[in-house]
């Protein structure tokens, strides 16, 4: 605007805006609500872009449309790059397949390998062609949907396989049994109370299959054979399996003992959150030998079978004293059920009465020819005894007990009577009638007329040296039963 002109400037030239008032008075507020136009009260969404008209250009700028166009162009560029890469990958795989096919054609002379290589090449070529055509398929909307579905499927299958492999690797994780086996072998080698402790802490399945006494005897026999445990020289194999009763593990070892190096196998059962012994086996080397003296020493019942501290000597002497005093019924009652089934009670009492009439009173045990214990539960006691009328009468006892804490019971009894000599007088014997045994007591023997003495034989020797007959009650040591009568 020029300072010397009186004409007022135009509003459009000065940049000012004309304001016109409808009246000079303000509207009166009477308390009545005034309606607002719908356009003024409409909700405006946040983040939306509104088109704003301008007076100068009259054009509308759509900012949201530009952003969508830029995002679309970015996806197209990315898709083209990925498609080109996939196409190149497919072309490379196809070339690889063609090369493998050519290798298969050249090796067709080999019966199995040539055809297999050719088929492998064809398969690789087909995979390459599929990957080469994949970008073209993804150009359409249905193709893109198919590619997305294929990608999701591959991801799901890969995740499923990964989970299965992880579970298999975790489930088949083989524990280290060497420390457990070494501790077990050290305790087994120490013997004594350690064997009882090992058995008590073993698997319940092991305790059901093996008796404690049998286990202790076997381990003592092992210690006597190979000596003390030294070390585990090698772990040859480890295996863990799962079954209805839980996990079972087995470790194969090479073990060095004091007398030999053996192959051993120890089995474990996972019970109550820890591994328990299920079994043990030791294989002796081929060149290792056990002498006869060593075997006899292992089954020896007592160090001194004639000592009164020997339990077999004590039991056998007590039985013979009861038979001498006429208490054969008490001997039969205290015997095992096997003995009682083999011989009737009254018949056994009658036989013992005949023996007492022939041999006289029992005096003592003069020698032990055999005394052995098998498995801690079966025992054989073979002795020579002295009677009032005979010296060196052989008696064979068989004993049984359910465990080492139980007393011995008579399982078999055999008394071998000597052949009478020519100068012997006829011995009074009890009458072989049912009245001979009454009320559990034996009647005194009745006198019978003497019979002619038999002619002496050329093979006869001193009294007790030649045995011509026997009488037994119950199964004999060899498993048979005697006739129940004395042969003279």
- Of the two residues 403 and 368, the one the predictor is more confident about is 368
Whether residues 257 and 229 fall in one domain: yes
CA distance 360 to 424: 14
Answer yes or no: is pLDDT of 469 > 60: no
CATH code of 238's domain: 3.10.450.590
**pLDDT value of position 298:** 76
Answer yes or no: is pLDDT of 442 > 90: no
Answer yes or no: is pLDDT of 391 > 60: yes
Answer yes or no: is pLDDT of 302 > 80: yes
**pLDDT value of position 46:** 52
Whether residues 468 and 351 fall in one domain: yes
289 — pLDDT class (breaks 50, 70, 90): confident
**pLDDT value of position 475:** 40
Whether residues 83 and 194 fall in one domain: no
**pLDDT value of position 1:** 46
Q: What is the pLDDT of residues 235-244, one digit of tens each?
A: 999 999 888 8
440 — pLDDT class (breaks 50, 70, 90): very low
The whole domain housing 315 covers 299-421+429-447+461-473
**Phi-psi region at 243: left, alpha or beta (left = phi > 0; alpha = psi -120 to 50):** beta
63 — pLDDT class (breaks 50, 70, 90): low
Model's pTM, two decimal places?
Answer: 0.44
CA distance 157 to 383: 82
Poorest-confidence range of 26-30, 192-196, 266-270, 392-396? 26-30
Whether residues 131 and 112 fall in one domain: yes
Element (H, E) at 471: strand 467-473
Those residues whose C-beta lies under 8 Å from the C-beta of residue 338, and which sit 6 or more positions away, are 400, 411, 474, 475
Average pLDDT, the chain: 74
Does some domain include residue 384? yes
Answer yes or no: is pLDDT of 422 > 80: no
404 — pLDDT class (breaks 50, 70, 90): confident
SS3 437: strand
Total residues belonging to the chain: 488
CA distance 5 to 16: 19
**pLDDT value of position 486:** 36
Q: 481, 413 in Cβ contact below 8 A?
A: no
Which of 126, 144, 171 finishes a domain? 171
Among 280, 232, 217, 229, smallest CA distance to 259 is for 229
Answer yes or no: is pLDDT of 232 > 80: yes
**pLDDT value of position 213:** 79
Q: What is the pLDDT of residues 89-140, one digit of tens each?
A: 667 666 666 776 666 666 666 655 556 666 666 766 666 666 566 666 556 6
Whether residues 318 and 441 fall in one domain: yes
CA distance 126 to 93: 9
Whether residues 114 and 131 fall in one domain: yes
Q: What is the pLDDT of residues 134-182, one digit of tens each?
A: 666 556 677 667 767 777 888 898 898 888 887 776 655 778 899 999 9
Q: What is the pLDDT of residues 308-360, one digit of tens each?
A: 889 999 999 999 999 999 999 999 999 999 999 988 999 999 999 999 999 99
Answer yes or no: is pLDDT of 429 > 80: no
> How many structural domains does the chain have?
3
Does some domain include residue 205? yes
């Amino acid at each position: 605007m020029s300072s010397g002109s009186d004409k007022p400037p135009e509003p459009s030239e000065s940049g000012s805006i004309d304001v016109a008032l409808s009246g000079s008075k303000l509207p009166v507020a009477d308390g009545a609500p005034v309606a607002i136009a719908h356009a003024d009260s409409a909700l405006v969404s946040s983040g939306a872009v509104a088109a704003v008209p301008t007076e100068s250009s009259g054009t509308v700028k759509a900012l949201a449309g530009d952003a969508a166009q830029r995002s679309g162009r970015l996806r197209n560029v990315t898709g083209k790059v990925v498609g080109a890469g996939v196409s190149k990958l497919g072309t490379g795989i196809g070339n690889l397949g063609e090369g493998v096919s050519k290798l298969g054609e050249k090796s067709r002379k080999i019966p199995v390998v040539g055809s297999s290589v050719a088929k492998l090449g064809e398969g690789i070529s087909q995979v390459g062609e599929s990957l080469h055509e994949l970008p073209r398929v993804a150009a359409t909307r249905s193709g893109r949907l198919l590619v997305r579905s294929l990608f999701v499927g591959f991801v799901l299958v890969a995740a499923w396989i990964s989970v299965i492999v992880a579970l298999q690797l975790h489930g088949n994780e083989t524990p280290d049994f060497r420390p457990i086996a070494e501790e077990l072998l050290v305790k087994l080698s120490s013997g004594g109370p350690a064997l009882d402790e090992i058995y008590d802490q073993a698997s319940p399945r092991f305790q059901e299959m093996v008796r404690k006494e049998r286990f202790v005897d076997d381990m003592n026999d092992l210690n006597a054979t190979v000596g003390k445990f030294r070390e585990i020289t090698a772990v040859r194999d480890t295996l863990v399996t799962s079954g209805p009763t839980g996990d079972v593990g087995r470790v194969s070892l090479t073990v060095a003992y004091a007398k030999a190096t053996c192959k051993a196998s120890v089995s474990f059962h996972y019970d109550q959150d820890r591994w328990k012994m299920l079994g043990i086996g030791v294989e002796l080397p081929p060149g290792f030998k056990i002498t006869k003296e060593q075997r006899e020493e292992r089954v020896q019942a007592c160090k001194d079978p004639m000592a009164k501290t020997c339990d077999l000597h004590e039991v056998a002497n007590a039985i013979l004293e009861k038979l001498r005093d006429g208490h054969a019924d008490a001997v039969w009652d205290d015997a095992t059920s096997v003995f009682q089934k083999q011989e009737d009670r009254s018949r056994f009492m009658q036989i013992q009465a005949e023996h007492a009439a022939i041999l006289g009173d029992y005096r003592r045990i003069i020698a032990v020819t055999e005394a052995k214990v098998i498995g801690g539960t079966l025992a054989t006691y073979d002795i020579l005894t002295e009677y009032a009328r005979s010296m060196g009468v052989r008696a064979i006892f068989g004993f049984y007990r359910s465990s080492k804490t139980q007393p011995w019971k008579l399982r078999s009894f055999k008394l071998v009577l000597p052949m009478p000599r020519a100068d012997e007088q006829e011995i009074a014997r009890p009458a072989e009638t049912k009245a001979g045994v009454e009320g559990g007591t034996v009647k005194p023997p009745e006198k019978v007329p003497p019979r002619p003495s038999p002619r002496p034989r050329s093979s006869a020797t001193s009294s007790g040296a030649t045995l011509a007959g026997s009488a037994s009650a119950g199964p004999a040591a060899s498993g048979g039963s005697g006739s129940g009568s004395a042969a003279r």
